[in-house]
Amino acid sequence: MVSIEPTWIAEDGERVASDEAAPVQAPPKPKPDPAPPARTPAPNMEPPPNPAALGACHNHAVDFIVRGVLPVPEGRELFGWIRELRDRFYREINQAPVMPLHYCYQHDEERRQSKTGNWGHILPKQGDDQEDAYCVENREGWRVFDASQR
Ligand SMILES: [Zn+2]
């Protein structure tokens, strides 16, 4: 058998059991000692590296050092420098997303095609620039003032 408790409507419209005061929440118990670090990787961690790609990046790192393109900086030891270059090649180049065609890597911006067919993106105003200036593909290094880039 189901017993129905008499209820009354509180001033704020909330139905409350008549013989029961508003429930008072017990203070939360102090947490036990923090759990040991989880063995599973956190969701924001990067996936395990691709061994073949990592090996290629290692080879490129050594190659750049040997050829003198990226020599060991003063005060750094060789292995740490190789590892830094390997990891940076891997993360910043090998695993970097492929950008759309006509992308401007210099300014890290996507270019759009103008009515004249040129691909460009707007450049921040400089000193006495009155008009909008554009960075146009194949004319890098120029501040192109061209309304058709709009
Ligand atoms: Zn640019």
Which class for 109: exposed (0-12), middle (13-18), buried (19 or more C-beta within 10 A)?
middle
- Average pLDDT over all residues of the chain: 81
Terminus-to-terminus CA distance in the chain, angstroms? Answer: 78
In a domain, 11, yes or no: no
For residue 37, pLDDT beyond 80 = no
CA of 90 to the centre of ligand 1 (A): 24
Under a CB-based contact definition with an 8 Å cutoff, are residues 137 and 111 in contact?
yes
Q: List b or e across 4-29, with b for residues whose CB sees 16 or more CB atoms inside 10 angstroms.
A: eeeeeeeeeeeeeeeeeeeeeeeeee
Lowest mean pLDDT among 8-12, 27-31, 85-89, 90-94: 8-12
Range of the domain at 121: 112-149
Lowest mean per-residue pLDDT among 23-27, 61-65, 90-94, 118-122? 23-27
Task: Please tell me the distance between residue 113's alpha carbon and the centre of ligand 1 in angstroms.
Answer: 13
In a domain, 17, yes or no: no
132 falls within a domain:
yes
Spacing, Cα 45 to ligand 1 middle (Å): 32
Overall domain count for the chain? 2
Are 110 and 100 a contacting pair, CB within 8 Å?
Answer: yes
Residue 60 · residue 89 · CB < 8 Å: yes
Query: What separation in Å is there between the alpha carbon of 97 and the centre of ligand 1?
Result: 18
pTM value > 0.75: no
CA distance 113 to 131: 18
Rounded distance from Cα 96 to ligand 1 centre (Å): 19
Cα of 26 from ligand 1 centre, angstroms: 61
Q: In this structure, is residue 130 part of a structural domain?
A: yes
Taking the centre of ligand 1 as the mean of its atom positions, its distance from the CA of residue 63, in whole angstroms, is 29
Please check whether residue 2 lies inside any domain of the structure. Answer: no
Ligand 1 centroid distance, CA of 116 (Å): 18
pLDDT at 147 over 80: no
Structure confidence by residue, pLDDT tens digits, 51-110: 999 999 999 999 999 999 999 999 999 999 999 999 999 999 999 999 999 999 999 999
